[in-house]
Amino acid sequence: MPMAEREAARVPRIVVVRPVAVAHTWLQRAVGLMGRRRLTEHDALFFPQCRAIHTCFMRVPMDAVFVSRAMSVVRVFSELRPFRFSPPVWQAWGVLELAAGMSRTLGIQVGDQLRLENEFSRLLEY
């Protein structure tokens, strides 16, 4: 089967990501994941109302998953290196930052639906 047919035949999945923190305040949004010497599979931070990010002052690469207001994945950037800028993703409403390679590990692809939960297994409100 040609690659285009395989991609067209793919059924979007619901991907549960936990634990996830939400950057609500100006300070949380300004600091984000900066300053960490490493990121683990437990480091996930969601930025509501965000269409572009930067990795300035980050020490390690990370993944960025841009989602629509309905939490449908619209763009995935894998392993963004420090001191880089993502282009604006105009159809995005928010972005989930993950440790480098986690979007691939979780199998996150455009069209998937994300469900973000905190460490207490509650659905996050954004």
The per-residue pLDDT string of the chain (126 residues; one tens digit each, 9 = 90 and over) reads 555 555 556 788 889 888 898 998 998 888 888 878 888 888 899 999 999 999 999 899 999 999 999 999 999 999 999 999 999 999 999 999 999 999 999 999 999 999 998 765 555 555
Domain extent at residue 17: 12-116
Looking up residue 51, the CATH number of its domain turns out to be 2.60.120.1140
Q: Tell me how many domains the chain contains.
A: 1
126 in a structural domain: no
HEC letters along the chain: CCHHHHHHHCCCCEEEECCCEECCCHHHHHHCCCCCCCCCCCCEEEEECCCCCECCCCCCCEEEEEECCCCEEEEEEEEECCCCECCCCCCCCEEEEEECCHHHHHCCCCCCEEEEECCCCCECCC
State the pLDDT at residue 36.
80
37 in a structural domain: yes
